[in-house]
Amino acid sequence: MHEEYCYSCDAVLDPSDADVCPKCSRKQTRACFCTRRISKGIATCPQCGTDWAKIDAVHEAQREEHHVDQRAQRRRRLLGAIVGLVILIGVPAAWWMLTSGR
């Protein structure tokens, strides 16, 4: 019987629960598009040939983009709050100046 190793940290997997690493608790398999369960250490599905290394790279890039998106969104919200505040204070102030200037 050969031992299985974690694809991420190379720890020896528990034979009774080889799907989850006992050390870093990462799942060792994933469900492919063809419904076959494949090890995460395998870059391409042996059944349908899906290139999981490429998909993982894309996911990584998307996560990165999402991160930037959230930051831009926060900045937009902050800008909106400032503009709202300026209008809230500026309009009555301008109105007051216009009406009391005479």
Size of the site for Zn ion (CB under 5 A): 13
| Residue 42 touching Zn ion (CB under 5 A) | no
> How many CB atoms are closer than 10 A to CB 76?
10
| Residue 11 touching Zn ion (CB under 5 A) | yes
Residues 22 to 41 in contact with Zn ion, rule: CB under 5 A: 23-24, 32, 34
d(CA 24, CA 34): 27
Dihedral sign, CA of 66, 67, 73, 76? negative
> How many CB atoms are closer than 10 A to CB 6?
20
> Which x/- pattern, by CB under 5 A, does the window 56-85 give for Zn ion?
------------------------------
Where along the sequence are the contacts to Zn ion (CB under 5 A)?
Answer: 6, 8-9, 11, 21, 23-24, 32, 34, 45, 47-48, 50
